[in-house]
Structure 1
Amino acid sequence: MTVLKGAKVRLRRVSSEDAEARFALGTDAEIVNMFGVSLSDAKPMTRDAAEQWAEGQANNPYAWAIEVEGCLVGEIKLHSINVHDRRASMAIGIDLPLNFHPAATRASVVLNTPSGAV
């Protein structure tokens, strides 16, 4: 299993053990809105939904968990993969308010910095 590590951020495969951490992150209305989902469609995170999330991510060979200082904060994945053209789109989802964890604000910067030197 490939794990990418930085000073504070680690990308790794999602496992079923991540369901509890995803449940604990809950559903933040501001984040749901930033993901393009209507606030009226936002639903509280349930244990069942968290387990389905973990299973779905674990079964996706192009999805990884984002950890900041050992805590799950979101996921990163490739989608719309075009093997012929050797290209794909990438989605990054940070599932907690940026002020929730001091290092969380650096997670998206690290993931978007070519050298990862943040």
Structure 2
Amino acid sequence: MKANLPELRSARLILRSPIREDVDVRLALGRHKEIVEAYGGTFDPEVPFTREHAEAAIRLIEEQEYAWIIDAGRFIGHVRFHSMDRHDKRAALAIGIDDPTYLGRGYGTEAIRLALAYAFSTGLHRVSLRVLASNTRAIACYRKCGFLEEGRERESAFINGRWADDIIMGMLDREFCPS
């Protein structure tokens, strides 16, 4: 069941529920090699990005209990919490910026900080994430948000015919600093 999530706002963006227009924007963005591989996928330029793919991407956000669209005037990506454990007050974070023109400009950091402020205000004690060791841009973003590296899972992802390591990062509620 989807939580009744509030809309969250910062100086440049809004975290909100999906709307119908997001499918069209997601479709127009298509797929980009750098982004697909950062997600741990294999990019095939021969495979078209279809309306069905765009609908599935937006539906994933609609179906998640704690997920928002990242809106910087329009859809640019999503941020969500998954693997929620209410007893242990922990969750995992996932974020995706699907518009390459917004990469490296602080939008991911801004979205993560908004989502973390909300999560910790609702009683979460711990948020963790996993990121490909090769995704230096995302690792820098997570460190900027206050995540600490907790370990490495060796050869945990098979990408483009090669094994890749995942970095495990985490943050406790008392370590969170919203700015």
TM range (shorter): 0.7 to 0.9
Q: Secondary structure at the match of 2:24?
A: helix
* Post-superposition CA distance 1:7-39 (Å, at most 9, x none): 101100113331111111110111111111123
Q: Identify which of structures 1 and 2 has the higher relative contact order when contacts are C-alpha pairs closer than 8 Å and 6+ apart.
A: 1
Give me the identity figure in percent: 33
Structure 2 length-normalised TM: 0.56
Q: Which has the higher mean CA deviation after the structures are superposed, 53-62 or 29-38? A: 53-62
Structure 1 match to 2:16 = 12
TM-score, normalised via structure 1 length: 0.81
Q: Please, what is the CA RMSD of the aligned residues?
A: 2.3
Instruction: Give the AA of the match of 2:90.
Output: R
1:8 alignment partner AA: R
Higher fraction of strand: 2
Q: Report the secondary structure of 1:105's partner residue.
A: coil
Specify the alignment match of 2:148 in structure 1.
none
Query: Hey, what's the Cα distance between the residues in 2 that align with 1:18 and 1:90?
Result: 21
Q: Provide closer, same or farther for how the CA distance between residues 74 and 85 of structure 1 changes in structure 2, counting only shifts above 3 A.
A: same
CA contact (8 A) 1:67 1:73 kept: yes
State the distance in 2 between where 1:2 and 1:43 align.
Answer: 36
Q: Which amino acid aligns with 1:50?
A: A
Measured in 2, the distance between the counterparts of 1:3 and 1:37 equals 30
What's the counterpart of residue 95 of structure 2?
92
Match of 1:109 in 2: 109
